[in-house]
A and B are shown apart, each in its own frame.
Chain A
Amino acid sequence: MDAATSTAVYERTLSIDASPDTVWEFFVDSEKLMRWKGIKADLDASPGGAYYCEVIPGHTARGEFVELDRPRRLVYTWGWDGNDKVPPGSSTIEVELTPEGDGTSLRFVHRDLPDAEQVASHAGGWDHYLSRLETAAAGGDPGVDPWVENAPSM
């Protein structure tokens, strides 16, 4: 971790058996976004358009679409309502979609997150992480997701 910048990055690349265009829709279409994240979403997928997603009751992510190059590259900002450590728009998510056979290679990067040390030194950090943890916990139980149960590939 670079101490000078003191920010954390989450990065992951995964292969999806769906075309880049299909995957793209899951980031810009409110109804499709809710299939994998959140209980309420309102997306204005245009440069400067608003990104709104209530992930679980009381925990709302907000940001703004920055770059949309369908179906290759998507950039939007991200943060949590009522959170002064990661306020709406304070971190950045970059999505890159590359054709891979009949499917897609998806590269997902979430940058400008505060690192643990930085969080520890700021009031509010605990509250932030605790609420994030609750969010993760709420989204992390596969038993409650009927979509997963019904997926034919399972």
Chain B
Amino acid sequence: MEAALKAIAEPRRRAILTLVRDGELSAGEIASHFDVTRPAVSQHLNVLKEAGLVNERRNGTRRLYRARPEGLVELRDFLEGFWDIRLDELKRQAEKEERKKHGRRN
């Protein structure tokens, strides 16, 4: 999940993900949506691919990309971690508060 977090930290990569969410696009088609060099887009696509957020398919000389559905499931699993982390923190804070309330007795 570390790789996915780094991958989506960059706004342009989030935009690329949105582009290939509903259909397959070539690297060139993706690049045409952005005001950056083709190699820069290729690099973004590589990061997304390594993070498991897009699939790459070769068709002749073209490379086609689309969002990876399983990535969604992994995101969901990770999102459960959102509450796990917050609730662990709630526990720590509530226990700290309780100790403060009963400080004189300790």
Contacts and interface: CB of A to CB of B under 8 A. Distances in A.
Contact of B97 (A10, A22, A127, A130): A22
Instruction: Name B's interface SS.
Output: helix
Interface in A15-41: 16-19, 22-23, 25-26, 32, 35-37
Contact of A147 (B4, B17, B21, B93): B93
A145 B86 CA distance: 12
A25 B93 CA distance: 11
B72 A119 contact: yes
Interface stretch (B38-46, B57-65, B77-85): B77-85
B98 interface: yes
A147 B96 CA distance: 9
B14 A130 contact: yes
A17 B99 CA distance: 9
A139 B85 contact: yes
A9 to B, nearest CB: 10
Contacts of A134: 8-9
Interface of B: 4-5, 8-9, 14, 17-18, 21-22, 67, 69, 72-73, 75-76, 78-99, 101
Given A17-B95, A136-B79, A152-B96, 17 more contacts: A8-B76, A14-B87, A14-B88, A16-B90, A17-B98, A18-B98, A22-B101, A32-B93, A32-B97, A35-B93, A36-B86, A36-B93, A116-B72, A116-B75, A120-B69, A133-B78, A153-B92
Interface of A: 8, 10, 12, 14, 16-19, 22-23, 25-26, 32, 35-37, 104, 106, 108, 110, 115-116, 119-120, 123, 125-127, 129-130, 132-137, 139-140, 145, 147-148, 151-153
